[in-house]
Homo-oligomer: A and B are copies of this chain.
Amino acid sequence: MSNTLTETPEAGVPADARADQLRALLDGPWRELRERFRAEIEPQMVLGEPGRSIEENRARVTAQLLSLAEKGYGRIGFLTQYGGEYDYGASCVLFEMQAYGDLSLTVKTGVQFGLFGGAVQRLGTQRHHAAYLEDIMTGKLLGSFAMTEEGHGSNVQRLETTLTYDVEAGDFVLHSPTPSSIKTYIGNAARDAQMAVVFAQLIVPSGSQGVHAVLVPVRDGDGNPLPGVTIGDNGPKAGLPGVDNGTFFFDHVRVPRENLLNAYGDVAEDGSYTSPIEGENKRFFTMLGTLVRGRVCVGGGAAASAKKALVIALRYGTQRRQFEAPGVEQEAVILDYLAHQRKLFPRLARSYALSFAQNELTSRLQALQGEQAHPDEQGQRELEGLVAGMKALSTWHAIDTIQTCREACGGAGYMGENELGQMRADTDVFATFEGDNTVLLQLVAKGLLTEYKETFSDLDAADLIGLITRQVGDTIVEKTAGRAGLQKLVDAVTPRNDETALDNRGWQLWMFRERADHLLETLGKRLRRATRENAFELFNNAQDHVLEAARAHIEEFILTEATTAWQSMPKGPARDLLDKVIDLYALSSIEADKAWFLEHGRLTDKRSRLVTASVNDLCQALRPEVDTLTRALGVPEQLIVAPIAQ
């Protein structure tokens, strides 16, 4: 084990140059936007103040949203012909950057430009674009995305709100038929929304057509609810005090026929229904698929918040002293304690790895849904799986990391001025909205099991029967996780046993693949026994296996993307440093799941202990690099206002 007291970084290349190189790599394809944001954003544009009332927070957030819109930040994701910039990936990156500021603002702009605006753009057609997009981008028209109901958040196919076409009158009747059909937790609802994209069961003379979205005016010019619309306020929450979440209840509200967002299904004046997509389920899940950006944003935003927390805790860790080393008068810097390094460095390494994976998601989203998009159904489904899984893992990473950072800053970490408390409270719900994490991981596994074949429902076990196509040793995974490119690295590793160095990237990848493949294959075998009668029980008894398989798949994706990014770097000190960071990510991930590797003969007892020793060594090896590593994250300096991190 190496010396525990801090050493200075190796001479030669200045630390700054390495930080710059790493930052450029982490910034990825949308570096320019990130740099613009860093240069242009002033603290008061995106930060809040602790201890304010809900009303003050809401007012401040709305004002900030409007001023960001004024600077053009609202235009980034929208179609160019209506005044947008239509850089779809950039809109995700902007969300990430905004997450370094107040998360209430991040979520509020996400609702306005992402969910509400995005739904109008994606689910609507020219008539809606022409009428509304410009006002949405400028914030002149504020709106909600009203999907969730009290009775249904995860299983949105079962929404109860009805949208019934009245042939006589030539318009729709929007109605909340039961108490549990009330729309709830809806952002922008309680205070600001003038319109809402409302999801409801579409009913036409020929029958029910499943869930569709419709644009509904909800407030008049004075901000009062329109007739038939009852608006409620969700009130105080565990976090996000600046977001006005609320409820909508509709009592036979008349909505013009043209307000149906009709890209995937339309109702003619005579009440006849047409759609380019056959089948209710497929239609609904195709619609949802076009909205996948929201999940990309939520995962990326949470991960960004975790980075900021790490910068705060790591900086404090290099300054704070507590307890003296024997014979030394000055107390030791807490980041020199192995236990403290153990808390922060593996999470820092994971933050790095997640960044590369997040960049890959954003690029794939751009390729599939951006301006020059090449639609590709298989690619789209694969993306949806990765996005769902990355959203779950990134948000849990954020919750865990911010909490750890809070504790790592002792009493100071609990003070409002040091930012961590609010970040922790705000990111909490990222595990829930845009899809509950546990539900999302099941979607990942479902996609893998069916090789992204025709399966259009959330978690219906019956739906899976007969679709489970996974065969031992089949090849689809090679494509899905972008494995092919790294095959050589993996093949080069023989023997894969105690002789191979733990920092051999090929071995690490092999371990991640072994875990992912084995979990999936055994799951497939287990579930192929399903019949209509035993399906629920069989699937339910395997739920822990399902979650593990999904996790392992996403972990492999993360290591793959981190490795690919690292390989792209020119040889030199920055690459060497990143190498260690990825080692730490890979080995601490293996360490956390040691039991699996031991149980399945992929680690011997001896090697397993070595993994732990290596994690310790890597923590100590990265200790002198903390400055470079935190600077490389590129958190805008002006947005780190915590006094303990100055």
Contacts and interface: CB of A to CB of B under 8 A. Distances in A.
Contacts of A154: 322-323, 410
Contacts of A322: 152-155
A327 interface: yes
Contacts of A235: 50-51, 415-417
Given A421-B239, A541-B616, A54 B51 contact: yes
Q: Taking the full assembly, how many copies of this chain does it contain?
A: 2
Interface in A489-538: 532-533, 535-537
Given A155-B322, A411-B148, A544-B338, A422 B238 contact: yes
Interface string A458-485: 1111100100000000000000000000
A5 to B, nearest CB: 8
Contact of A421 (B237, B332, B436, B462): B237
Interface string A404-447: 00110011011111001110110011011100111000000000
Contact of A460 (B326, B340, B422): B326
Nearest to A536: B325
Interface string A300-327: 0000000000000000000000111111
A452 to B, nearest CB: 21
A403 interface: yes
Residue of A5, A428, A532 ringed by the most chain B CB atoms within 10 A: A428
Contacts of A428: 403, 406, 414, 421, 424
Given A235-B417, A411-B184, A429-B414, A459 B536 contact: no
Given A540-B336, A541-B1, A424 B460 contact: no
B411 A543 contact: no
A592 to B, nearest CB: 9
Nearest to A619: B544
Contact of A236 (B50, B237, B436, B601): B50
B155 A323 contact: yes
Nearest to A408: B438
Contact of A407 (B432, B458, B535): B432
Nearest to A600: B605
Interface residues of A, number: 90
Contacts of A438: 339-340, 343, 407
Interface in A384-405: 399, 403
B236 A416 contact: yes
A546 B342 CA distance: 13
A158 interface: yes
Contacts of A53: 53
A429 B544 CA distance: 32
Nearest to A423: B238
A416 B237 contact: yes
A532 B327 CA distance: 8
A97 to B, nearest CB: 24
A326 B535 CA distance: 7
Contact of A331 (B158, B239, B411, B420): B158
B544 A326 contact: no
A433 B238 CA distance: 22
Interface string A594-621: 1100111100010011001000100000
Given A323-B458, A414-B429, A598-B599, A339 B421 contact: no
Nearest to A234: B415
A323 B605 contact: no
A428 B424 CA distance: 10
Nearest to A429: B414
A202 B424 CA distance: 40
A81 interface: no
B327 A462 contact: yes
A514 B206 CA distance: 70
A260 B569 CA distance: 66
Contacts of A424: 238, 428
Given A185-B411, A338-B544, A413-B432, 10 more contacts: A50-B235, A152-B322, A155-B331, A184-B411, A326-B460, A332-B536, A339-B547, A399-B403, A410-B436, A598-B599
Please provide the 8 A-B residue pairs with the shortest distance between their CB atoms, ordered closest to farther. Answer: A238-B421, A51-B236, A326-B462, A236-B416, A594-B595, A325-B536, A50-B236, A338-B543
21 contacts: A5-B537, A51-B236, A155-B324, A155-B331, A238-B416, A324-B460, A325-B461, A326-B461, A332-B536, A342-B544, A343-B438, A407-B437, A411-B433, A414-B428, A414-B432, A424-B428, A594-B599, A598-B598, A599-B605, A599-B609, A600-B605
